[in-house]
């Protein structure tokens, strides 16, 4: 069972709630995914005010844990303020911390991220930082008080899938005991299976499901892929080799034919 | 038969029209000082069911494809049938492919074919989609026109009406108060939409153009006289306050990406409306406490109000004659306890 800040969760899929065709379809996707945790953007869904009441009410009725996020924040102070609003609105000290540094790639501003993580951790927040695959930044985030890391595998919404497998491998190897959740860039179930095979603890998705023609079916497909990848990681996979390895015995046959 | 309609937005006026042409005595009570005070006033007025299919269920195509004919019959001369052009910046052609995969009844265009349709976009886009069966109208002219037509047909209007407008003597009460019913109609929520109007003599477009972008999809609808309506954001909120700086910036950026001459245009208006929406973003009518509640038109007011109004009128007629039968319609009222939108997330509650 995956443990995040002392809370056990059974699903290894975290689902975003933005950009679905309708709240009813969002609810279908959440149910089909069997997820335990959904993330909700306070800023984007509310124009900075607190009047997104009806939408938040719908989210609350989903019966899953809410991980509010600070999507769209570009500075430390914006992110800290949004986190505090989120704590009030959703009565949770969990926060997915996003501080965006580049408008086109939505790459995190890792300097501001570490700073905001330090402030929020010291104020009792349980911070889930959206970060890159940089090991030094990861160290700094842990020093700042984070107990979970959420590296991207490609830019948000790009659907490219893991673009730097060696970096993800070394991140897993460097932090064997820290829950690592791949947060952004997943486009297809096979991408999710790939990072789970590397030993990542969970996957966070939004666009890949919300933008599918049938979001509920796609959510279920991802759940299957994530379970398959996790099971394969534990089952011990073969390493690739450059020669055939016959699966039937060759004894009794001429070796040099 | 006497019918009282609350609300003179696109829902109230279309229902009034469907009843008035049957000779029914209709009174409209509107709390604002003029018709179309709600979301209708900020609408794009696109009669574009095939484009909407990108994010809406097939129902919207089925119920919306007759809208242009309805408006043409009700208000001759208002509907412009020149289709919809959909383009994307070169680096976002994946968005165009995605849009095409979700929709139907369009043609792929290359840059020369785009030039033939909209000469001002010459050389700006290499690929586009053309939905030739779609149409558009100017929502404000349509609202004002329909109001005039109904008044001429004998429909009585009370503007500035109080919420407790007397209902004595009416056989049916139809509530078409849109976003004002949020909080009283179960499951109804607001989706804020922000828009602006640009004015420039340097750009000519003859049909709505949708610019696809992963973050900021936008449409520009020509309103004539060098005016262009640019819209619209989709924000889960009931806030009717002024447009935010971020939204203004993004809408302007997108307009500028469509044509650089929009950089010199004058911003002559900004606005924000709240779209009344049920959890599946589809409209419906229901009856409780003897009131027929018509709501949830979301971003499809001018597109789906005609079909919805026809069903409401049929419902009123069938409830006024014994043994009247009629074919089932998608807007059929169902018992409140069974209504999916009453408790959209019910299964997990």
| List of residues 6+ apart from B117 with CB closer than 8 A | B83, B85, B109, B130, B206, B207
Whether cis (ω within 30° of 0) applies to the bond prior to B232 is yes
Confidence of residue B91 (pLDDT cuts 50, 70, 90): confident
Confidence of residue A252 (pLDDT cuts 50, 70, 90): low
Query: Quick one: pLDDT at residue A76?
Result: 96
Backbone angles phi, psi at A199, to 5 degrees: 100, 10
Could you say which of A24, A45, A48 has the minimum Cβ distance to residue B244? Answer: A48
* B323 near A CB under 8 A: no
* B107 near A CB under 8 A: no
Query: Quick one: pLDDT at residue B279?
Result: 93
Token pair, residue B247, equals 């939204």
Could you say which of B56, B98, B340 has the minimum Cβ distance to residue A21? Answer: B56
Confidence of residue A250 (pLDDT cuts 50, 70, 90): low
Question: Do the beta carbons of residue B231 and residue B251 sit within 8 Å?
Answer: yes
Q: CB–CB of B279 and A23 under 8 A?
A: yes
Q: What is the C-alpha separation between A229 and A231, in angstroms, rounded? A: 6
**Sheet of strand A94-97, all strands in order from the earlier edge strand to the far edge:** A150-151, A126-131, A94-97, A65-69, A37-41, A13-16, A202-205, A181-182
Q: Is 80 exceeded by the pLDDT of residue A248? A: no
pLDDT, one tens digit per residue, over A98-114 is 999 988 888 999 999 99
| Partner A, chain B 115-174, Cβ-Cβ below 8 Å | none
Confidence of residue B322 (pLDDT cuts 50, 70, 90): very low
Query: Quick one: pLDDT at residue B278?
Result: 95
pLDDT, one tens digit per residue, over B12-65 is 999 999 999 999 999 999 999 999 978 999 999 999 999 999 999 999 999 999
Task: Read off the pTM.
Answer: 0.84
pLDDT, one tens digit per residue, over B154-187 is 999 999 998 889 999 999 999 999 999 998 888 9
Q: CB–CB of A24 and B280 under 8 A?
A: yes
Task: Give contacts of B247 with chain A, Cβ < 8 Å.
Answer: 47
Q: CB–CB of A51 and B345 under 8 A?
A: no
| Partner A, chain B 182-221, Cβ-Cβ below 8 Å | 182, 188-190, 192, 214
Query: Quick one: pLDDT at residue B44?
Result: 94
Residue of B nearest to A73 (CA): B246
Task: Give contacts of B238 with chain A, Cβ < 8 Å.
Answer: 51, 53-54
Please name every residue paired with B5 in a beta bridge, in sequence order, or none if there are none.
B28, B174
Which domains occur in chain B, in start order? 1-80+134-186+278-349 (3.50.50.60), 84-132+189-277 (3.30.9.10)
Task: Give contacts of A54 with chain B, Cβ < 8 Å.
Answer: 182, 188-190, 236, 238
Confidence of residue B277 (pLDDT cuts 50, 70, 90): very high
* B236 near A CB under 8 A: yes
3-state secondary structure chain B: CEEEEECCCHHHHHHHHHHHCCCCEEEEEECCCCCCCCHHHHCCCEECHHHHCCCCCHHHHHHHCCHHHHHHHHCCCCCECCCEEEECCHHHHHHHHHHHHHCCCCEEEEHHHHHHHCHHHCCCCCEEEEECCCEECCHHHHHHHHHHHHHHCCCEEEECCCCCCCCCCCCEEEECCHHHHECCECCCEEEEEEEEEEECCCCCCCCCEEECCCCCCEEEEEEECCEEEEECCCEECCCCCCCCHHHHHHHHHHHHHHCHHHHHCEEEEEEEEEEEECCCCCCEEEEECCEEEEECCCCCHHHHHHHHHHHHHHHHHHCCCCCCCCCCCCCCCCCHHHCHHHCCCHHHC
pLDDT, one tens digit per residue, over B205-231 is 999 999 998 777 789 999 999 999 999
Pick A57 or A163 by higher pLDDT.
A163
Q: What is the C-alpha separation between B223 and B43, in angstroms, rounded? A: 12
Q: How far is B14 from chain A (nearest CA, A)?
A: 25
Segment B115-127 shows an average pLDDT of: 94
Q: Is 80 exceeded by the pLDDT of residue B325? A: no
Q: Say if strands A202-205 and A181-182 run parallel, antiparallel, or are unpaired.
A: parallel
| Tokens 């520009």 sit on residue | B220
Q: What is the C-alpha separation between B134 and B132, in angstroms, rounded? A: 6
Could you say which of A21, A52, A54 has the minimum Cβ distance to residue B281? Answer: A21
The ipTM, to two decimals, is 0.76
Token pair, residue B1, equals 């038969």
Query: Quick one: pLDDT at residue B330?
Result: 52
Query: Quick one: pLDDT at residue B337?
Result: 35
* B101 near A CB under 8 A: yes
Query: Quick one: pLDDT at residue B37?
Result: 78
Pick B333 or A63 by higher pLDDT.
A63
Catalytic residues of A: 96
* B253 near A CB under 8 A: no
Q: How far is A198 from chain B (nearest CA, A)?
A: 29
């Amino acid at each position: 069972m995956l443990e995040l800040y002392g809370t056990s969760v059974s699903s290894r899929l975290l689902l975003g709630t933005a950009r679905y065709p309708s709240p009813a379809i969002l609810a279908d996707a959440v149910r089909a995914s069997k997820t335990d945790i959904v993330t909700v953007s306070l800023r984007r869904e509310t124009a900075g005010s607190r009047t997104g009441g009806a939408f938040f009410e719908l989210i609350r009725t989903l019966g899953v844990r809410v991980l509010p996020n600070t999507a769209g924040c570009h500075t430390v102070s914006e992110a800290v303020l949004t986190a505090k609003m989120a704590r009030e609105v959703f009565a949770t000290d969990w926060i997915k911390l996003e501080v965006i540094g580049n408008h086109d790639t939505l790459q995190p501003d890792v300097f501001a991220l570490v700073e905001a993580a330090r402030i929020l951790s010291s104020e009792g927040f349980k911070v889930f930082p959206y970060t890159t695959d940089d090991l030094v930044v990861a160290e700094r985030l842990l020093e700042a008080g984070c107990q979970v890391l959420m590296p991207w595998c490609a830019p948000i919404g790009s659907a490219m899938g893991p673009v730097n497998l060696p970096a993800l491998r070394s991140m897993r190897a460097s932090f064997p005991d820290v829950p690592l959740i791949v947060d952004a860039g997943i486009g297809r179930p096979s991408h999710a299976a790939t990072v789970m095979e590397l030993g990542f603890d969970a996957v966070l998705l939004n666009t890949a499901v919300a933008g599918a023609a049938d979001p509920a079916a796609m959510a279920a497909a991802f759940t299957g892929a994530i379970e398959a990848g996790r099971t394969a990681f534990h089952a011990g996979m073969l390493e690739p080799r450059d020669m055939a390895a016959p699966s039937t015995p060759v004894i009794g046959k001429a070796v040099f034919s | 038969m006497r019918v009282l309609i609350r609300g003179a937005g696109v829902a109230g006026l279309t229902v009034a029209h469907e009843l008035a042409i049957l000779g029914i005595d209709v009174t409209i009570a509107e709390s604002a000082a003029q018709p179309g005070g709600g979301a209708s006033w900020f609408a794009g007025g696109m009669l574009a069911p095939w484009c909407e299919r990108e994010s809406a269920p097939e129902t919207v195509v089925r119920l919306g494809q007759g809208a242009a004919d309805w408006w043409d019959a009700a208000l001759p001369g208002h509907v412009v049938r020149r289709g919809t052009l959909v383009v994307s910046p070169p680096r976002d052609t994946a968005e165009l492919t995605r849009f095409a995969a979700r929709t139907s009844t369009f043609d792929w265009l290359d840059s020369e074919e785009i030039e033939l349709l909209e000469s001002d976009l010459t050389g700006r886009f290499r690929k586009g989609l053309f939905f030739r069966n779609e149409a558009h109208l100017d929502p404000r002219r349509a609202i004002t026109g329909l109001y005039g037509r109904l008044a001429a047909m004998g429909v009585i209007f009370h503007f500035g009406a109080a919420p407790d407008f007397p209902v004595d003597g009416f056989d049916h009460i139809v509530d078409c108060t849109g976003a004002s019913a949020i909080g009283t109609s179960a499951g109804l929520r607001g989706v804020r939409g922000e828009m602006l109007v640009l004015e420039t003599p340097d750009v000519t477009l003859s049909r709505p153009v949708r610019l696809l972008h992963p973050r900021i999809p936008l449409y520009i609808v020509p309103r004539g006289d060098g005016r262009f309506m640019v819209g619209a954001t989709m924000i889960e909120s009931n806030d009717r306050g002024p447009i935010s700086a971020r939204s203004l910036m993004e809408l302007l950026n997108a307009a500028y990406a469509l044509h650089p001459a929009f950089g010199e245009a004058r911003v002559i208006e900004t606005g924000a409306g709240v779209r009344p929406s049920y959890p599946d973003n589809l409209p419906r009518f229901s009856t409780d406490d003897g009131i027929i509640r018509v709501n949830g038109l979301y971003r499809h007011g001018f597109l789906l109000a005609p079909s919805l109004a026809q069903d409401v009128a049929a419902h009123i007629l069938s409830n006024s004659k014994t043994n009247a039968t009629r074919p089932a319609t998608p807007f059929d009222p169902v018992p409140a306890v069974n209504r999916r939108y009453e408790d959209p997330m019910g299964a997990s509650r």
